[in-house]
Amino acid sequence: MADHLRLDLFLKTSRLIKRRSLAKEICDAGCVQINGRMAKAGALVQVGDALTIDIRDRLMRVRVLRIPQRIEGPEGVVEVLPEEAGE
C-alpha cells in the first residue's frame, strides 16, 4: 500500500476534482496548498496532510485520512476541516 501519491492523482482518486487534467491545471495555477504551502501537481500527498483548495468562489479545507488505491468517493479518504475564525 502506497504511503504517498501525486497531488493531481490524489485529487482525482478521492473525487475532490473529477478529471486529472483539471486537477493539474488547478494545482499549477496556485490554487492548492499542502500544509499551508503552495503545491504543484507533482507534489506528494501523505496521510495527515492538510489540503486547501481555492476554486473560484469555493474554499475547501480537508485533511488526508488515507491514500486511495483506486477512484472512490471522498468519504473515508478525507476529513473536511472547519473554517477558521476571522476569515
Percent of the chain with pLDDT over 70: 92
Nearest CA-CA partner of 46 in 31, 55, 54, 35: 35
Say if residue 66's pLDDT is above 60.
yes
> Measured between alpha carbons, how far apart are the two ends of the chain, in Å?
37
Give 24-56 pLDDT, tens digit per residue. 999 999 999 999 999 999 999 999 999 999 988
User: What is the pTM for the complete model shown?
Assistant: 0.85
Domains located in the chain, CATH noted? 4-80 (3.10.290.10)
Cell of 69: 488505491
Q: Distance of CA 49 to CAs 9, 24, 42, 45, 54, Å?
A: 15, 18, 15, 7, 16
